[in-house]
Amino acid sequence: MDTTGMVLLWVLGVLALVGGVLVFTLNSMARVTFALLGSLVCVGGVVAVLRLPYLGVVIVLMMVMEMVIMAVFMIAYMMNPAGLMPMSMLHNKRGSLVVSGLVFAALVAGIFLVPWPDRTGARPRDTTFQVGMSLMGDQMLTMVTLGFVLLATMVGATVLATHRGRYDRFGDDLDQRPANDPADGGVGR
Amino acid sequence: MTFELLLVLAAGLFSTGLFGALSQQSIVMIMMGVELMIGGVIVAAADFWYFLAPAAGSGQVVIVTAVVAMAVEMAMGFAVTTAIYRARQVDMTDMAEDLKG
Amino acid sequence: MAETGTWWALLVAPAMLLGFAAAALAADAALDARNAGRPITVSTVVRPFLAVPRAVLAQPRRLPASDRLLWRAGVITVPVAAVLSTLVIPFGDHVVADLSVGVVWFNAMEVLTWAGLWLAGWGPNAAFSLVGGYRFLAQGLAYELPLMFALISAATGAQSLRVTDIAGAQHGLWYAVWMPFAFVVYLAGVLAFSFLGPFAYPAGRDVAEGVLGETSGVDRLLLEAGRWLWLAAGAAMAVPLFLGGGAGPGLPPWAWSLVKTLLVLAALVWTLRRLPMVRADRYVELAWVVLLPLSVLQTLVPALTDLSL
């Protein structure tokens, strides 16, 4: 790790932590969401500095999309419409602080007490190629499982989130054309 | 030393997220806490891969899995929030205590 | 193959992007004049640029309870992301940063506009702006996946995410020729992420210019510049991805890059005036039901070609 890398790691690491803390201290819903976005973008940056450019950039890409969608839901569901009024929506704050503090202390103790092994093996020249080969090679089962999990999520999330079924769309005998949809849609189904 | 400090960063992100997930009432805020925890896992996985076993591609697969977990968590979280909100205008965990099992 | 890392490239790349964007804007003004039956003179072409000093000098509008931090951040993000995306785009033999994951970098920078435009809509604390921001997200969910598959098609064909590799892999046969659908989807994506023409829905007239509506002065200038910068960046990226980069007979590589970029840009400017604005709810269905399956099939073509080689 060269000097530039070290500086970047420090900056990104501190920013990630600050963003993480801001998520639970800011008042505005939009600012909270974008503090989390900032924190996770820094996580992506750390990953990229650790010679995983593909995963790092993909994390940035994904987090931006995710957090923007999250902001939409956040504003849709928070009872305080625009998040402009300062308010606290916490329960059991002291207990949570104690639990998370203990977890942090235990983790840090573990980090410094465990005799970590030395590095084994050399870094590949192209880490993107490495992750691709592993996902399409010896980790194929993981890849397939992840694929099915994502498919199940797509189906499950759609089923949970929609309240309309095919009888609502096509009528009791499923013969109503065009479908009775709240929005028209672009291909005239 | 960088190795340990990065792990401390991971632990910090994880604990901050844990505090949020435990203390927030709104379901969306709880999901933010969980996202932050998974962010910590990603940092730790990248750190382990870089400093301990860079020759093993499976270290990177852990990061891929964590990213997928984030996406799944968010999609299902919003789906459940939408479903429960539609059923009884609830968006806070304390109002849905009867679902405790 | 490509020359990288010269310090002046850091200055030249944004300047050239600005030049292309200005050319597109001038062409648009000229076409405006032609449609209105006015003669095309120097002044018609220069007129849109008079808005620049006007915007810089104008007194900014202040709004009650606006979220200035996020608003400013969003407004700045759009043009800055456009400039950052050009880091990986080769021009002739030159490229600022020849990243091994250039295609993903371009895509990530393009996705930053989502955040930028939503924030630009959220910031002013005004209903129509926010509607505009939401509209861009709805449109984004529609155009993004087909666009990603179009990028993946080109990357799969070259078996590399490095943009110069993709440009170099098209000896003689452009990807636009044997992946025409990916090319068209990519160009549609360019219009969509620069929210111009048929995809001007987030800034539509029916919501009083949406995300642009409440901005004034330099903010307005930055957002408008962001639109045209993105159009120029998208056109410049189309050249290495689908049109063989700087390769061509006779002329030096930089001249071919210039010619091809200008041609793509001209085609885009012509197209964005010919098509009516499409509503996001219509485009979402079209994108997911028609474009996305076809894009996946399109990606299958280079994938199978790779396997058979």
Residue ranges in chain C assigned as alpha helix (H): 9-35, 42-57, 68-85, 102-122, 127-158, 163-168, 175-178, 180-193, 210-213, 217-242, 253-274, 280-286, 292-308
A48 close contact with B: CB closer than 8 A: no
Sorted by sequence, the CB contacts under 8 Å of residue C210 that are 6+ apart come out as C121, C128, C129, C131, C132, C133, C135, C201, C202, C203, C204
What pLDDT score was predicted for residue C1? 42
- pLDDT tens-place string over residues C137-161: 999 999 999 999 999 999 998 888 9
Domains of chain B (ranges, CATH numbers): 2-91 (1.10.287.3510)
* A78 in the same domain as A13: yes
A and C touching (3 or more beta-carbon pairs closer than 8 Å): yes
Whether residue C51 is predicted with pLDDT greater than 50 in this model: the reply is: yes
Q: Is residue A94 part of a domain?
A: no
Whether residue A189 is predicted with pLDDT greater than 70 in this model: the reply is: no
Average of per-residue pLDDT across B52-81: 91
Average of per-residue pLDDT across B38-44: 95
Phi and psi angles of residue C58, each rounded to the nearest 5 degrees, phi first: -65, 150
* A131 in the same domain as A79: no
What pLDDT score was predicted for residue C55? 83
Higher pLDDT, A52 or C92: A52
Q: What is the ipTM of this complex?
A: 0.89
* A150 in the same domain as A76: no
C282 close contact with A: CB closer than 8 A: yes
Q: Answer yes or no: do A119 and B4 touch at CB < 8 A.
A: no
Kindly identify which residue of chain B lies nearest to residue A6, measuring between CA atoms. B2
Whether residue A124 is predicted with pLDDT greater than 60 in this model: the reply is: yes
Binned at pLDDT 50, 70 and 90, residue A86 comes out as: low
Q: Is residue A113 part of a domain?
A: no
**Cβ neighbour number for residue C176 with a 10 Å cutoff:** 21
Nearest-CA distance A60 → chain C (Å) = 7
- pLDDT tens-place string over residues C247-270: 888 888 888 889 999 999 999 999
Alpha-carbon span A66 to B35, nearest angstrom? 10
Give chain B as a DSSP string: -HHHHHHHHHHHHHHHHHHHHHHB-BHHHHHHHHHHHHHHHHHHHHHHHHHT-TT-THHHHHHHHHHHHHHHHHHHHHHHHHHHHHHH---BGGGGGGG--
CB C102 within 8 A of CB C10: no
**Cβ neighbour number for residue C138 with a 10 Å cutoff:** 16
Q: Answer yes or no: do A185 and C285 touch at CB < 8 A.
A: yes
Range of lowest pLDDT (A106-110, B7-11, C174-178): C174-178
What pLDDT score was predicted for residue C290? 92
Average of per-residue pLDDT across B7-35: 90
What pLDDT score was predicted for residue A166? 84
Q: Is residue A96 part of a domain?
A: no
Residue A76 Cα to chain centre, angstroms: 19
A124 close contact with B: CB closer than 8 A: yes
Chain C positions touching A71 (Cβ under 8 A) are 118, 122
A97 close contact with B: CB closer than 8 A: yes
Neighbors of chain C with 3 or more C-beta pairs under 8 Å = A
Binned at pLDDT 50, 70 and 90, residue A82 comes out as: very low
Instruction: Specify the 3-state DSSP secondary structure of C3.
Output: strand
Among A57, A83, A109, the domain-final residue is A83
Give the max Cα distance, chain A: 70
Q: Which of A31, A33, A51, A57 to mutate to test the interface with C (most CBs of C within 10 A)?
A: A57
Q: Is residue A37 part of a domain?
A: yes
What pLDDT score was predicted for residue C205? 83
Average pLDDT, chain C: 88
Q: Answer yes or no: do A121 and B67 touch at CB < 8 A.
A: no
Higher pLDDT, A79 or C19: C19
Q: Answer yes or no: do C137 and A68 touch at CB < 8 A.
A: yes
* A77 in the same domain as A9: yes
What pLDDT score was predicted for residue A89? 67
Residue A151's alpha-carbon distances to A155, A156, B35, in angstroms, are 6, 8, 20
Binned at pLDDT 50, 70 and 90, residue C104 comes out as: very high
- pLDDT tens-place string over residues C270-288: 998 888 888 888 888 899 9
Higher pLDDT, A189 or C214: C214
Among A83, A115, A138, the domain-final residue is A83
Q: Answer yes or no: do A103 and B78 touch at CB < 8 A.
A: no
Q: Answer yes or no: do B35 and A154 touch at CB < 8 A.
A: no
C261 close contact with A: CB closer than 8 A: no
Token pair, residue B21, equals 């997930």
Proportion of chain A above pLDDT 70, given as a percent: 92
Nearest-CA distance B100 → chain A (Å) = 16
Proportion of chain C above pLDDT 90, given as a percent: 40
Q: Answer yes or no: do C108 and A64 touch at CB < 8 A.
A: yes
Nearest-CA distance B41 → chain A (Å) = 10
CB C54 within 8 A of CB C264: no
Q: What pTM, to 2 d.p., does this model score? A: 0.91
Q: Is residue A99 part of a domain?
A: no
Residue ranges in A26-165 assigned as alpha helix (H): 29-49, 53-77, 93-113, 127-136, 140-161
* A79 in the same domain as A157: no
Higher pLDDT, C269 or B27: C269
Range of lowest pLDDT (A71-85, C7-21, C69-83, C245-259): A71-85
Domain residue limits at A187: 127-189
Count of structural domains, chain A: 2
Q: Is residue A95 part of a domain?
A: no
Whether residue C4 is predicted with pLDDT greater than 70 in this model: the reply is: no
Q: Is residue A16 part of a domain?
A: yes
Q: Answer yes or no: do A16 and B68 touch at CB < 8 A.
A: no
Q: Is residue A131 part of a domain?
A: yes
Average pLDDT, chain A: 86
Q: Answer yes or no: do A128 and C144 touch at CB < 8 A.
A: no
Q: Answer yes or no: do B22 and A96 touch at CB < 8 A.
A: yes
Among A54, A83, A112, the domain-final residue is A83
